[in-house]
Amino acid sequence: MKSGSNLERVIASGKMAVTAELGPPMSADPHEVIHKAGQLKGFCDAANITDCQTAVVRISSIAAAFIAQREGLEPVMQMTCRDRNRIAMQADLLGAAALGLKNCLCIAGDHQKFGASGKLKGHPGAKNVYDVDTCQLVGIMKKMRDEGLQQGGDKLEVAPKFFIGASWTPMGDPMDFRPYNLKKKVDAGADFIQTQGIYDMELFKSQMEKARNLGLHERTAILAGIIVPKSAMMLKYMDSSVAGVTVPKELIDRMNKAKAAAGDDKKKMRELQEQEGIKIAVELVQQALEIPGIKGVHIQAIEWESAMEPIVKAAGLYPRPVLPAE
């Protein structure tokens, strides 16, 4: 075992892994984290704790991960390359390990300009760091864990033992390079991969085939990302505005149909769309799990944590395995 985390044990056991997502609040109040952790607990093997997603200031990933862990939910702390240089990164990794955190996902992070969208002001004038990129951060973490060395070469008395993750956008531009992008992250030392949300399963299958041809499915655990759709509007938005995400027309049509069935009843409109969204998510999960080389799913019910339970149950992924620590 590299880290001994629950996620690592589930993957090592050969069972399909399930991860979820928990976004910390823009507040110093821990209760939202505790509440969300309660909703997710038992329905996933670990939950990603985002690191100031969309470049908006929130409870830090490490602190929120620690709170979640205290609540009995295994966290995957996320670390962006946007906000820290290699000194802060490694210091935070040591601190996280000292707090008992065992999983870490490396991502580039949304650009700070993202923060100023919608009603939020964000910090578009912030200075970003990008001292190292995702591949390099993965490499640093691996070197710390396996060699007991800092990036600069200094020794660590006790090495932080992390199960190292990286993200992958299989359908982003330039698409023919994306499998190699994954290969670089695996070469750098990524133990598991969580993908960007997938709606177009056929396209994902062809990208997975390329990844398999490079032998990557044997060297890392690829978890397919599923973003639970909540409404037809959300699907349309994801299709047009979210990079690397395309939504097949038939899915949007299904949501529109569910919406239309409610007539003028706004409440019912929402309920029917949510029901259909959960149904679509379950189907996507089942389709993804059939793709050769897939080791699990990363289900993101964004600000809708209560959806995890019905999805995991309907997909036949409940109860989650309980594996003893070594």
Partner 1 sequence: MIVGKQKPFDEIWDMVKGFKKVLVYGCNTCVAICHAGGSKEAELLASMLRMRAKQEGLDLLIDSAGIERHCEPEFFEPLDEKVKTYDLILSTACGVGVNFLADRLAGAIPVYPGINTSFYGAVPEAGFFVELCGGCGNCILHLTGGICPIVRCSKSLMNGPCGGTDKGKCEVSSETDCAWFLIVERMKKLGTLEKLFEVQPPRDWSTATHGGPRRISLEHIRAYEAEEEKKATLTGEGK
Residues that bind partner 1 (CB under 8 A): 81-82, 86, 107-111, 113-114, 128, 130-136, 139-140, 151, 167-169, 172-174, 177, 180-181, 183-184, 187-188, 196, 243-244
> Based on CB atoms, which residue is closest to partner 1, 142 or 270?
142
Shortest spacing between CB 245 and partner 1, in angstroms: 9
Q: Rg of the chain over CA atoms, in angstroms?
A: 19
Give the end-to-end CA distance of the chain in Å, rounded to a whole number: 9
Compute the least distance from the CB of residue 8 to partner 1, in Å: 23
Q: Measured at the alpha carbon of residue 93, what is the angle toward residues 84 and 197, in degrees to the nearest 5?
A: 75
**How far apart are CB 204 and partner 1 at their closest, in Å?**
14
Segments in the chain forming alpha helices (H): 6-12, 31-40, 61-70, 86-98, 134-142, 178-188, 201-213, 216-219, 232-241, 249-260, 266-290, 308-314
Q: How many CA atoms lie within 13 A of 179 on its CB side?
A: 16
Q: How far is the CB of 191 from partner 1 (least distance, A)?
A: 16
CB neighbours of residue 176 within 10 Å = 9
**Residue in 242, 238, 251 with CA at minimum distance from that of residue 201:** 251
CB atoms within 10 A of CB 100: 11
Shortest distance (Å) from residue 14 CB to partner 1: 29
Closest CB to partner 1 among residues 82, 254:
82
Distances (CA, A) of 289 to 196, 223, 225, 315, 320: 15, 9, 11, 10, 15
C-beta of 29 vs 147, nearer to partner 1 = 147
CA distance 157 to 139: 19
| Residue whose CB is less far from partner 1, 71 or 187 | 187
Q: Which is nearer to partner 1, 28 or 243 (CB)?
A: 243
Q: Which is nearer to partner 1, 6 or 169 (CB)?
A: 169
Least Cβ distance, residue 46 to partner 1 (angstroms): 21
Q: Which of residues 11 and 140 has its CB atom nearest to partner 1 in the complex?
A: 140
Query: CB of 66: closest distance to partner 1 in angstroms?
Result: 27
Residue 201's nearest CA partner among 247, 255, 240 is: 247
Calculate the alpha carbon distances from 281 to 125, 206, 284 in Å: 37, 20, 5
Q: Nearest distance from residue 310's CB to partner 1, in Å?
A: 28
User: Based on CB atoms, which residue is closest to partner 1, 173 or 209?
Assistant: 173
* Encoded tokens for 161: 């033992």
Tokens of 47: 């939950």
